[in-house]
Amino acid sequence: MMRRVAILISGRGSNMTALIEAAAAESFPAEIALVISNKADAPGLATAQANGVKTLVIESKPFGKDRAGFEKLLQAALDDHQIELICLGGFMRLFTAEFVRRWYGRMLNIHPSLLPSFPGLDPHGQALRAGVKISGATVHFVIPETDAGPIVMQGAVPVSDDDTPDTLAARVLDIEHKIYPQALRLLATSGVQIVGEATRTSAGVCSDDNLIAPSVI
């Protein structure tokens, strides 16, 4: 059965685009039924509309710090469209603990680092300052704590000595676009279960699919 998904955005929504394109395949087990933005000028709205996806704007600015008031409208829209799963795609608005608990196990986010390393703002700058040789992206379930939910999927990329936050961000974004649709596929097919603070999945792991950096020849 096709699961109905809403994507929440605040900007251009590049991960939204990757999800919409993946869901266009007949074999994909989820339908992107709605894109909601908390900003009327978000460029991603036009992209979603061009792909035939229904869009909705629920401005968060008028609510100020009244998160519950904003979430009341948001939840009503999700209910009206019979949404079962949520994917956050650059949604720049914090949720109340109550809203997060309501959607626990059904709301995904993607963060551009290999969590639990480098949560929060400027993850690429954090990674470069730490001198890591491998970075990447993480899809995780949303919990009240920022970037701390059970991890569903991760993808890694090498870090070059001459990387800047921008060049590393571009490389990580490519892997984001690969793993987010696959994480949604797992969730939509009940292929991932939360066990304590971690997850177990039905997907296999290829032992040859390793990333080691720097490479030594």
Mean pLDDT throughout 12-32?
97
**What are the catalytic residues?**
111
> How far from the centroid of its chain's Cα atoms is residue 123's Cα?
15
Closest listed residue to residue 145, CA positions, set 97, 196, 210, 193? 97
Please, are residues 137 and 175 in contact by the beta-carbon 8 Å criterion? yes
For 72-105, what is each residue's pLDDT tens digit?
A: 999 999 999 999 999 999 999 999 999 999 999 9
The sign of the torsion formed by the CA atoms of 161, 164, 167, 169 equals positive
Domain residue ranges of the chain, discontinuous segments joined by +: 1-103, 109-201
Mode of pairing for the β-strands spanning 151-158 and 192-195: unpaired
CATH classification for the domain delimited by 1-103, as one of 3.40.50.170, 1.25.40.10, 3.20.20.140, 1.10.10.10: 3.40.50.170
Mode of pairing for the β-strands spanning 3-9 and 198-201: unpaired
Domain 109-201 indexed as CATH 3.60.20.10: no
| pTM (global) more than 0.75 | yes
Please, are residues 71 and 101 in contact by the beta-carbon 8 Å criterion? no
